[in-house]
Every structure is written in structure tokens, then in C-alpha cells.
Amino acid sequence: MAQHNNLGHNGEAIAKAYLERKGYEILDENWCYKKAEVDLIAYLDSTIIFVEIKTRTGDFFGKPEEFVDAKKQQLLTLAANEYIHLMSHKGEIRFDIISVLFSSTTEYKLNHIEDAFWNY
């Protein structure tokens, strides 16, 4: 597996464990619809949360969360619409971003941005 894939998987595992510690129920991981993939779909307080995880080893080119551009937001919205349709969910939804910025192989900083954008 390529090193960047390992990095991404590590970031997703860290984000998942973080959310579970905070009381979130993980409904799905790497859920795909057409060209869209949602890293994590979680549930908390009657709200479905669609989580995009960005993992980097440095912020020279910008913070990890800055890489969730308008196109990625549209794809996440497309997937979210299908997911809530399939689940017949009538409650609230939101889109979160979790960035994991590694400073070494074991040291990292996690940033959880709730309600990061709204394209619904």
C-alpha cells in the first residue's frame, strides 16, 4: 500500500476513535454513491453527520481542512441526499470536517469543525 494511503487510513482511524469517544455512533465508513465517497457517517442526538477527513504531514500548502473545496462539498451533498433518502431520515443532518495534521509518526493535531459547510 502506498505511503499516502497508510497516512489516510491512519487519519480515518484516529478520527473514528475520536468521534466514538465523544459519544457518536458510527453508521458507515467510506460510503460511496456515484463519484462521491463519505469518509464517515455518524449519528448523534438525532442528527446524521457526514464527516470528511483530511490527513496531512505538513501544512506548507495550507491546512488540511482547506482542501475540502466547493466540488468536494457538492459531491458530499450528493451522497448525503442519497443516504438520507435510503435511510428515510427525517431529522437534522450536518457536514463536519476533521483534519489530522501529523508532526511526526506518532504526534498529531486533530481539528474537528462542526457544521463546516451547508450545501443541502
What would you report as the CA-atom Rg of the chain, rounded to the nearest whole angstrom?
14
Nearby residues of 91 by Cβ (< 8 Å), 6 or more positions away: 46, 47, 48
What's the CATH number of domain 3-117, 3.40.50.300, 3.90.950.20, 3.40.1350.10, 3.40.640.10?
A: 3.40.1350.10
Task: Give CA–CA dist 115/93, Å, rounded.
Answer: 9
* Whether residue 2 has pLDDT greater than 60: no
Which percentage of the chain shows pLDDT scores above 70?
A: 92
Name the 3-class secondary structure at 1.
coil
> Could you read off the pLDDT of 10-56 as tens digits, one per residue?
999 999 999 999 999 999 999 999 999 999 999 999 999 999 999 98
Question: Whole-model pTM?
Answer: 0.89
Residue-range domain boundaries for the chain: 3-117
